[in-house]
């Protein structure tokens, strides 16, 4: 059972996928075979009828499970997260020192503006299943959606865009503390800025003055941000829980079938990275953007160039032959064995400090989160474990409130699952070159002999990976590029793959 997290949701524990999925009448062996792609024509006639028409027990279980998940993931826990006043808070390349109302408001705007995608219920039934909710099993897909959404925000929105309506959201649940010492985060609370309604608890109002109303002074770029509202609505709608939407759960689950996954299964961060790549490739709604997924903890620069540089596929006389597609780079990694290797913590911090970083999907074991920053030894995250009703995107100017979180939460680095996927974004060729340089410098801060991942020249074929399966979801491995192998020529081939 998962531990309780002081988020907008009380976690009771993830539902075992076997309890949700394996409730059909056909024999277990047939169920397993069909989940790996056995066609209907291969199913015996006696079983085909049962496979095509879910019985009433399945439907009843689905309704009961939906009701149970609504309770499990729907309780609100009113608890505030404490932030250190004297230590900087990093959010996707931006740093905030929460020692003034203006700085707290800047942090609040930046956090609330991130796209928040959570469990939903009562959406159209997922094909091939009885599920009308992803509660209990879809948290990694939701984290992946948030990672992609951040990439789309920086791709489509004005630079440093913030949501103009962020101040109209409910109270932001966090407090700023003045620590007793630089190394201890606990201390005496100071007035909490950024909460327009003040404290609702009498005991707290005695120890801290009512929080002042957020400054309503317009920022210079607020008019520009308001003009981006139609793009904001369109972007959110792309993640809607309807079969036609390009990045919704229905589409991602359908793509996941190619990896042997189905609704109700657990999706790892590596599998989700490949699903996101295929979803963007398949979609036509986003122009001038590609997704590259690193192979075996190695980013091959020429492979990225081949994806992005349109001049390689155009005539030299083409006036547009200098065009370059923007790219989202996803790097599945494993930062230790059964638990996070502490030697990589400083490296992860330095990655989250970069402007080109769009976040990390991972979390705790079997409990996915989307990491967007940190303070001291605590990771800052967005949590998908809240069950909300499905949104009707056919309504003009549908409400965006449920897609933005007002409760920043933290967890210790030590609780981070070592399996994760790191995301980066480069708008053009110059940005990609800067990304390679900046990320390589951040990776060099690791105390370990081998970095989390590497950038190498050339293409993957140059390193003997022609037959590498893109759907591989096992433990991530690190390949030593040519020239960095051991001096000994008698090493076994398997020794060239180093598990982090």
Residue 227 has what pLDDT?
85
- Can you give the pLDDT at residue 259? 87
Q: Note the pLDDT of residue 267.
A: 94
Question: Token match 């503006």: residue?
Answer: 113
pTM: 0.75
SS3 for 197-248 is CCCCCHHHHHHCCCCCCCCCCCCCCHHHHHHCHHHHHHHHHCCCCCCCCCCC
For residue 67, the model assigns a pLDDT of 58
Query: CA 194, 195, 196 angle in degrees (round to 5)?
Result: 110
The pLDDT, as a whole number, for residue 460 is: 86
Q: How far is CA 282 from CA 125, 152, 157, 256, 425, in A?
A: 22, 16, 22, 13, 19
Which residues are catalytically annotated?
Answer: 139, 383, 385
Q: Whole-angstrom Cα distance, residue 282 to residue 148?
A: 14
The pLDDT of residue 491: 35
| CB half-sphere exposure, 56, CA atoms < 13 A | 0
- Nearest Cα neighbor of 119 from 470, 368, 432 is 368
CB 337 within 8 A of CB 418: yes
Which segments in the chain show pLDDT lower than 70?
Answer: 1-56, 58-79, 168-173, 178-222, 313-322, 464-500
What pLDDT is recorded for position 22? 38
Q: Calculate the alpha carbon distances from 135 to 141, 180, 341, 408 in Å.
A: 11, 41, 30, 21
Question: Residue 152: its pLDDT value, please?
Answer: 98
Q: What is the pLDDT of residue 462?
A: 74
Query: Would you list the domain boundaries of the chain?
Result: 17-79+113-161+228-487
């Amino acid at each position: 059972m998962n531990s309780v997290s002081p988020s907008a949701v009380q976690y009771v524990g993830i539902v075992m996928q076997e309890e949700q999925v394996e409730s059909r009448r056909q024999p277990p062996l047939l169920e397993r075979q069909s989940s790996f792609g056995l066609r209907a024509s291969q199913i015996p006639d006696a079983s085909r009828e049962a496979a095509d028409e879910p019985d009433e027990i399945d439907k009843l279980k689905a309704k009961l499970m939906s009701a149970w998940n609504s309770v499990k993931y729907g309780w609100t826990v009113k608890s505030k997260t404490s932030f250190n006043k004297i230590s900087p808070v990093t959010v996707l390349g931006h740093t905030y020192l929460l020692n003034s109302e203006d700085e707290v408001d800047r942090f609040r705007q930046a956090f609330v503006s991130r796209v928040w995608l959570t469990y939903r219920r009562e959406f159209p039934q997922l094909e091939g299943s009885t599920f009308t909710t992803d509660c209990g099993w879809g948290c990694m897909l939701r984290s992946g959606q948030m990672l992609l959404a951040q990439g789309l925000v920086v791709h489509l929105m004005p630079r440093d865009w913030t949501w103009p309506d962020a101040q109209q959201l409910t109270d932001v649940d966090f407090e700023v503390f003045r620590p007793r010492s630089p190394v201890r985060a606990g201390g005496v609370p100071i007035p909490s800025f950024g909460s327009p309604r003040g404290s609702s608890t009498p005991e707290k109002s005695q120890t801290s003055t009512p929080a002042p109303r957020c400054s309503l002074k317009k920022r210079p770029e607020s008019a520009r941000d308001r003009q981006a509202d139609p793009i904001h609505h369109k972007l959110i709608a792309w993640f809607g829980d309807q079969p036609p939407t390009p990045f919704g759960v229905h589409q991602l689950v359908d793509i996941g079938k190619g990896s042997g996954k189905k609704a109700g299964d657990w999706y790892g961060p590596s599998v989700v990275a490949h699903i996101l790549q295929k979803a963007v490739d398949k979609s036509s709604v986003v122009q001038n953007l590609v997704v590259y997924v690193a192979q075996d903890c190695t980013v091959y620069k020429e492979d990225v160039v081949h994806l992005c540089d349109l001049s390689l596929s155009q005539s030299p006389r083409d006036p547009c032959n200098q065009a370059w597609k923007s790219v989202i780079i996803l790097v599945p990694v494993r930062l230790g064995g059964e638990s996070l290797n502490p030697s990589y913590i400083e490296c992860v911090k330095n990655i989250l400090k970069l402007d080109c970083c769009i976040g990390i999907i991972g979390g705790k074991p079997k409990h996915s989160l989307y990491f967007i920053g940190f303070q001291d030894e605590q990771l800052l995250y967005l949590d998908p474990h809240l069950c909300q009703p499905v949104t009707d995107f056919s309504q003009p100017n549908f409400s965006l409130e449920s897609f933005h979180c007002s409760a920043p939460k933290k967890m210790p680095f030590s609780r981070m699952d070592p399996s994760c996927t790191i995301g980066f974004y480069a708008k053009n060729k110059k940005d990609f070159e800067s990304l390679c340089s900046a990320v390589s410098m951040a990776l060099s801060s690791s105390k370990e002999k081998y970095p989390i991942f590497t950038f190498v020249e050339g293409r993957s074929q140059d390193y003997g990976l022609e037959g590498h399966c893109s759907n591989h979801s096992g433990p991530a491995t690190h390949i030593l590029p040519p020239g960095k192998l051991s001096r000994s020529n008698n090493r076994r081939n398997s020794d060239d793959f180093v598990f982090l």
